[in-house]
Chains A and B, each alone.
Chain A
Amino acid sequence: MRAYQDMVFSTAARLTANDAQAQDIAQEVFLRAYENFERLRASPSAGGWLKTVTTNLTLNHLTRYRRRWRFFSELARDDPEGETPETTEPAVATLDTLFAETNAAERRELVRQALDRLPEQQRTPLVLFHYEEMPYQEIAARLGVSLAKVKTDILRGRHALAQLLADSRADLSASVDRS
């Protein structure tokens, strides 16, 4: 358990952005692993099994809450492309600056905070795409939404992440200047 608990907790925490829920999910994952202990003990794919179970349980957990926002968000927006920023330049510039002007530790903290602050409908597909390396089609199938919506949410998520990073860096600079 010690070998995998950080991986299991991280997978759940990135998707939920909630430590308490991630801990509940991790607990359930290890209880299921205990039930399958004989099969997993000698299996070289135990890590993959744990990751799959964690992702499934987390998505299952999120699905309950997603039904609420999906109903309203899809009613509210007839045009799914309507809110996507027109240009990618500012987001790319923000990330270029981030890599140029911060060290790895600062960057990790800023990115972690920004990821946690993303809205769930953007964070979930973004995490599945970049961390779990799921293709768009599979993300759409797993989340029960259209392919177009997944692509739009991921694109918006990237822009929103860049914007949050820019805001965080601005706040950090302002606080440093004041002190």
Chain B
Amino acid sequence: MSTPSTSREAELERLVHRALREQPLRRAPASLQARVLGVIESRAAVPWYRTRLSHWPLAARLGFVASCLGAVALAHSLLGMLSNLRSAQRLSAALADFFATMHALVGASPALPHLGGELTRFVPRDWLYGGLVLAACMYVLLFALIAAAYRTLYASSPITRESRP
């Protein structure tokens, strides 16, 4: 059984519904169609390899998938080769070769340590530390600027592109 209060609320709902449903459709701006066509044209001008993967030609998509599968197979075979090194001697020999190569590379570039030594000798220590702190601050500032730009220009865009019906 409805109380007078709920019946008045139902009456209010009915009147509001009637008032709102009387509203005609708003006329879309004349520029809307031109805007949409403009975006479609500009998107059509973008080369296919710069669009989303789902928009690539079928052959390109198949090629991409095949190359991905090839990379996975290559990685798998490399891992298999590593695991097939049966003896520890072979493993240690391989590691020794690797370190020997790295040592040769370091030995071939003696200028870098020399340059470091010269820097520490002639440049005051405070300047060096100050420079390092400044570089760190600049890095943090750059990171903050990029984050702010991302939030402002992309993440706060009125249209959320990731949403799908």
Chain A residues in the interface with B (C-beta under 8 A) = 1-2, 5-10, 13-14, 19, 21, 23-28, 30-32, 34, 49, 52-53, 56-57, 60-61, 64, 87-89, 91-92, 95-96, 98-99, 104, 107-108, 111-112, 115, 126-127, 130-131, 155, 158-159, 161-162, 165
The A interface is mostly helix, strand or loop, or mixed, namely: helix
Is there a chain A Cβ closer than 8 Å to B5's Cβ? yes
Residue in chain A with minimal CB distance to B29: A23
B51 to chain A, nearest CB (A): 11
Residue in chain A with minimal CB distance to B7: A88
Residue in chain B with minimal CB distance to A158: B16
A31-B165 CB under 8 A given contacts A7-B25, A108-B23: no
Using A5-B32, A9-B26, A9-B29 as known contacts, list a sample of 20 further A-B pairs with CB atoms less than 8 Å apart, ordered by residue number in A. Answer: A2-B33, A6-B26, A10-B26, A10-B28, A23-B31, A30-B36, A31-B36, A52-B165, A53-B165, A56-B165, A61-B160, A95-B19, A98-B19, A99-B15, A99-B18, A99-B19, A108-B23, A111-B20, A158-B16, A159-B12
For window 127-165 of chain B, which residues contact chain A by CB distance below 8 Å? 156, 158-161, 163-165
Q: Contact check, A88 vs B12: say whether CB atoms are below 8 A apart.
A: yes
Q: Contact check, A158 vs B22: say whether CB atoms are below 8 A apart.
A: no
Residue in chain A with minimal CB distance to B31: A23
A49-B165 CB under 8 A given contacts A89-B8, A98-B19: yes
Inter-chain contacts of B23 with A (CB < 8 A): 108, 111-112, 115
Which of B27, B28, B39 is the most central at the interface, judged by chain A CB atoms within 10 Å of its CB? B28
Q: Please, how many angstroms separate the alpha-carbon atoms of A131 and B21 in the complex?
A: 7
Q: Contact check, A92 vs B28: say whether CB atoms are below 8 A apart.
A: no
Select B22's contact among A10, A13, A108, beta carbons within 8 Å: A108
Q: Please, how many angstroms separate the alpha-carbon atoms of A32 and B23 in the complex?
A: 27
Q: Contact check, B20 vs A131: say whether CB atoms are below 8 A apart.
A: yes
Which of B5, B26, B163 is the most central at the interface, judged by chain A CB atoms within 10 Å of its CB? B26
B163 to chain A, nearest CB (A): 4
A108-B24 CB under 8 A given contacts A24-B159, A28-B159, A95-B12: yes
Inter-chain contacts of B97 with A (CB < 8 A): none
